[in-house]
Structure 1
């Protein structure tokens, strides 16, 4: 059992506590989902369970945390490693050795697990997380989603009593996320392992949780069953948001439950006619092939990126989405083919010159944050684009993402969601013409995501082109004009978002699954359509 008794914690140098007078008990074998707005203290709460807070982060801790009777203030993190397996938001920062199999073995070696037992556990976790084909790969060569599954496998191999995971599906495609969550549910149900999981994409997780712990800024806490908590909070997945708006009782947690409320005689909408963009492409890719050693990450890709369009790159982990973005900014050079920006071949253009017209925000936001304050990050970006970094320009860049109050904070001390918004603010400062985003909603709550969508649509209305690689189906459904589906480095299909996200078995929004054949992707579209049907 994990017990928190009136816990209050303040980070070093902070003027107010991030957690305030928090008391909760997590039962042995429970599946607890932790959620709440970005910056509310979710990651801090998880770090209490293995002693990283306060032993690594410092600060002031009041109250008491006990993990199966051990006081975390009296025990160092190494003394809790046999009880708590921990997977952080950025799995690449957790790796110690080079090869996948060695990484999985590392924790067991430190715990003194016999070699024969280690071999058996390695095989078990490789199969449970479907990563046996990666066992001899170097972790540096893995995609973000593959790294995430390896980190989970390494934590699981030590067979802790509790597995604590900070946004474990943030970099996984829908199928990969389902595999990981199904594996966690099986571990929880079959072996009784306690699961404590923090997640922003609640639509992926709520059906697995026994309880939800909702953290809000200011110390307010909601704890209860998923139905109870989702009925009381504002940060809800689309299915529960729609159900609350229409008064569905009990609030459905799955698409199967939601379909009980859908009229059987609801007519199917005729398919919309394809719309061809009128604008000339801002950028073109012609027969672009990229290789990493002998591996072809992209193969003969042909794409037009229209002006003013928002294009979502989707596909399985390792399908080439991040490589395509890096190729557009010149960080990766193709071995074959040509990329044009405004009719000009980018091959001879230095990256620093290209960056004045093209913005790129990578998967790991902290990789582009290296100044002492967030204000300096934005100043640096503006100067890099040849612009004058006035106070008004800096304030405007930060205000767009609601982080002007963090201007003097050290960027690497920000929460995952705050760091994501900081990277977006710095990357988009100066209004570049082509905007490349890799998993832009990683660490963002639903409110922050809605703000990002509004801002991206405004940029497109101004004639800028946005290309985002994402596994967030709901994000693509809410704002993308077109979707490009990649598979093993090739373009599998390209088309309108309404067509691709409305008829896919895997890449469909919750609303599209709930109302198949209607052409609705979002809650707003469903509400408008249903109310229109009621009037007729």
Structure 2
């Protein structure tokens, strides 16, 4: 008998993993249903991706699987949800935890024990599993966190914390595992590793895996079926290739098809969609064996050396953090860096590379243990952080930390009002309109969806009118439409903000927005380049755990030089429809 059976009793052997019938749910105080008329069946052993725009009901639906809805969120609940044959209204959340493992989007709040080992062991120990040590060690190895076993969870980077939260769930080996945004704060190499682990659990142990995902590339590569959510209900539930064949419909719901699918459609709209870079490359290589003769290869001219005035600079910066034992963990070591007027800088590197630490040093909230940080010519050691607030704005990796008031409007208005701006109301209205949140101005920012929170924090930053804007993972957890909106807003800021620095794992953002890329590794700048230069250096990319966008990897596989940065560029260079038309047809 398995641990799940021992705790809850075996369910019907032929029952699906999840069965939802005529489900409707409304949160307390809400004026409309978040879920409405939901009918859904997920078979045992499936690997399902739940996709849809922000606010479509994805997370609320999945929280009905582990009983948080309606046992914790006790709103208006109608219909039925069965998990492995058990009605979730008739089983407690504690009992359901033996059936459904859940990793939340706000995974930091899921960590309850001091060390990584304690956290991963927490479930197996408390459920009295005799093999809790083996499960703990296995889960840490699977997620690549064994070397962090004795570290305190609060010392970890956001990406490392996510890995630990996943390990703690996987140590229980439940029948169903739900992961909300599995790759939201992970570097691309670790993101692929997370999906490989989930795929292994699915195939080797028969675990039913449900992921809430915005990244269509991972959906195409790993999922077996796809549920598209819109307006609180599934639009359809289809096998993955059939789902990817509905590119236009996915696009309308804020989930553009993977780049390899859009490239294939741009070259041959009638062809079935490829699901991976390898599949697309094999197909295109057979059809376009000489697609790029020398006279057709594009040449991208490298940008000139920056000549703008200095906005901020770091000289000989060394910084780290002391653990409880007193040992210093060095994060930045002898860092020299100059940021100039007009630059769009992407700060990249693996989890724990020091990206967030560098941003905090630029705000003056932290001062380096050694070296100097100057913003606008001012040494950050000589002034309080609030004295720099008119020059630099830092938007946090965790958006919920930015909300201090009871409404988005008041959060956005707080800084300009505190500085005595007489046009505060006009400014706030303009900013909220730019980020598409005018209709949610009266809502508490802490109660918004993840994507809405990201846009709200950007509004907070815009209202400060800074010279230097620092953003930590601004596109994390956003659907692609919202991500593109953020990129467009960053584009529009070039006339009002002198320099923007974005710490990110999102290589699409790097490719589409950045003019300069700084690669952090080992506490230093390992490379100072542009997006094409970064992606062409495959040895560097591999060493720091970065993975280029699909379209770039496809171009490199086909011998395209320099590597393409967008779908229209690659389609045009392969002899397909003109670049300006690809966006309409791909």
What's the TM-score once normalised by structure 2's chain length?
Answer: 0.88
How do 1:35-114 residues align onto structure 2 when only pairs under 5 Å count? 35-114=51-130
Q: Which of 227, 243, 249 is residue 241 of structure 2 equivalent to?
A: 227
Match of 1:449 in 2: 483
Q: Which of 228, 231, 238 is residue 214 of structure 1 equivalent to?
A: 228
Instruction: State yes or no: 1:521 paired with 2:573.
Output: no
How do 1:382-461 residues align onto structure 2 when only pairs under 5 Å count? 382-388=416-422, 390-461=424-495
Distance change (3 Å), C-alpha of 1:139 and 1:386: farther
Separation (CA, whole Å) in 2 of partners of 1:482 and 1:384? 34
Separation (CA, whole Å) in 1 of partners of 2:163 and 2:382? 38
Q: Which of 280, 294, 306 is residue 258 of structure 1 equivalent to?
A: 280
Separation (CA, whole Å) in 1 of partners of 2:422 and 2:217? 43
* Per-residue deviation, 1:384: 4.3
- Is the 8 Å Cα contact of residues 4 and 23 (structure 1) preserved in structure 2? yes
Separation (CA, whole Å) in 2 of partners of 1:40 and 1:57? 18
Q: Which of 347, 354, 370 is residue 313 of structure 1 equivalent to?
A: 347
Instruction: State yes or no: 1:30 paired with 2:46.
Output: yes
* Per-residue deviation, 1:47: 0.7
Instruction: State yes or no: 1:511 paired with 2:534.
Output: no
Separation (CA, whole Å) in 1 of partners of 2:499 and 2:207? 46
The SS at the match of 1:501 is helix
Separation (CA, whole Å) in 2 of partners of 1:281 and 1:315? 24
- Is the 8 Å Cα contact of residues 206 and 253 (structure 1) preserved in structure 2? yes
CA shift digits 1:345-386 (9 cap, x unpaired) = 222121112122111111110011121111111111323455
CA shift digits 1:191-243 (9 cap, x unpaired) = 10010001112223321100011112364512212222223211223222333
Distance change (3 Å), C-alpha of 1:388 and 1:218: farther
Match of 1:173 in 2: 187
* Per-residue deviation, 1:430: 3.1
CA shift digits 1:260-306 (9 cap, x unpaired) = 22522233444633421221221111111112021111111111112
The SS at the match of 1:366 is helix
How do 1:467-478 residues align onto structure 2 when only pairs under 5 Å count? 467-478=501-512
How do 1:248-327 residues align onto structure 2 when only pairs under 5 Å count? 249-259=271-281, 260-261=283-284, 263-267=288-292, 268-270=297-299, 272-293=301-322, 294-327=328-361
Separation (CA, whole Å) in 1 of partners of 2:67 and 2:515? 46
Separation (CA, whole Å) in 1 of partners of 2:371 and 2:485? 37
Separation (CA, whole Å) in 1 of partners of 2:350 and 2:537? 17
Instruction: State yes or no: 1:157 paired with 2:171.
Output: yes
Match of 2:215 in 1: 201
Separation (CA, whole Å) in 2 of partners of 1:326 and 1:534? 44
- Is the 8 Å Cα contact of residues 535 and 563 (structure 2) preserved in structure 1? no
Distance change (3 Å), C-alpha of 1:366 and 1:533: closer
Distance change (3 Å), C-alpha of 1:179 and 1:261: same
Separation (CA, whole Å) in 1 of partners of 2:92 and 2:442? 32
The SS at the match of 1:158 is coil
Unaligned runs of 5+ in 1: none
The SS at the match of 1:159 is coil
What's the TM-score once normalised by structure 1's chain length?
Answer: 0.95
Unaligned runs of 5+ in 2: 1-16, 323-327, 580-586
Match of 2:136 in 1: 122
* Per-residue deviation, 1:13: 1.3
The SS at the match of 2:231 is coil
CA shift digits 1:2-49 (9 cap, x unpaired) = 111111111111111111111111111110001111111111111111
Separation (CA, whole Å) in 2 of partners of 1:28 and 1:218? 24
Distance change (3 Å), C-alpha of 1:419 and 1:463: closer
Alignment root-mean-square deviation, CA: 1.8
* Per-residue deviation, 1:178: 1.2
CA shift digits 1:514-533 (9 cap, x unpaired) = 11223321123334444589
* Per-residue deviation, 1:415: 1.1
Instruction: State yes or no: 1:245 paired with 2:266.
Output: yes
Separation (CA, whole Å) in 1 of partners of 2:207 and 2:123? 18
Distance change (3 Å), C-alpha of 1:20 and 1:242: farther
